[in-house]
Homo-oligomer: A and B are copies of this chain.
């Protein structure tokens, strides 16, 4: 009985899967990306992963548990971009922000992220949003914490000025992501210009400094 419980893991449920379970989840992720949410049935997963449905139910308890495990597994794989040392100079701070913005665009535009978000959004409704909350907790919240630390460091050094930490992060998010995320979720494809995440990030950070910077922002 190696069932991996992670239901009601509001605080920080230590989800540890065996290597075999990780392989199964990896296969499930591949199926999800290739065939969309409709292709994610227990029979298909079992066949693709060379395991039995009985094992799936023994490991993950339920179909919702399996989906939740897939989300948790992917979240555990994606390490929050660069939790490294915080920047000391304004140039380094701007560099960090641009890197963060570019990484954010890349991650949210990735096949796996889009497929998982589509799955969670498709399952969500006004009442029940189990998977949606999980995605928000394991994904959005982590990114917000990372960005919050970065922005706070910039504020401490006097590179930017703001009062409401949540508001400034949401503005940064809006400037960087614009309508790209929802458009891609709906199946739209970005233009070649829009797909240049480095340039998009640079432009967004320029605008961000124009709003929150303390110095005359040197245009790139």
Residues of A within 8 A of B (CB): 33-38, 111, 114-115, 117-129, 132-133, 135-136, 140, 167, 170-171, 173-179, 181-183, 185-188, 203, 207, 210-211
A114: chain B residues within 8 A (beta carbon): 126
Q: From A123, which residue of chain B is reached at the shortest CB distance?
A: B122
Q: Are A175 and B177 in contact (CB under 8 A)?
A: no
Least distance between A44 CB and chain B CB atoms (Å): 14
Least distance between A36 CB and chain B CB atoms (Å): 3
A38: chain B residues within 8 A (beta carbon): 125
- What are 9 A-B pairs at a CB distance below 8 A? A36-B127, A38-B125, A117-B121, A132-B185, A133-B186, A140-B179, A173-B179, A174-B176, A182-B182
How many angstroms between the C-alpha atoms of A211 and B36 in the bound complex? 39
Also in contact, A182 and B179, with CB within 8 A (given A36-B126, A125-B115)? no
For the complex with contacts A133-B186, A182-B185, 11 further pairs of A-B residues with Cβ separation under 8 Å are: A33-B126, A36-B124, A121-B121, A129-B186, A132-B188, A136-B183, A136-B186, A136-B187, A140-B183, A173-B174, A175-B175
Q: Are A178 and B187 in contact (CB under 8 A)?
A: no
Also in contact, A125 and B171, with CB within 8 A (given A133-B187, A207-B211)? no
Also in contact, A121 and B175, with CB within 8 A (given A126-B36, A207-B211)? no
Q: Are A132 and B187 in contact (CB under 8 A)?
A: yes
How many angstroms between the C-alpha atoms of A126 and B124 in the bound complex? 20
Residue with the greatest number of chain B CB neighbours at <10 A, chosen from A34, A38, A111, A132: A132
Least distance between A63 CB and chain B CB atoms (Å): 13
Q: Are A136 and B173 in contact (CB under 8 A)?
A: no
Q: Are A124 and B186 in contact (CB under 8 A)?
A: yes
A187: chain B residues within 8 A (beta carbon): 124-125, 128-129, 132-133, 136
A207: chain B residues within 8 A (beta carbon): 171, 211
Q: From A187, which residue of chain B is reached at the shortest CB distance?
A: B129
A171: chain B residues within 8 A (beta carbon): 175, 178, 207
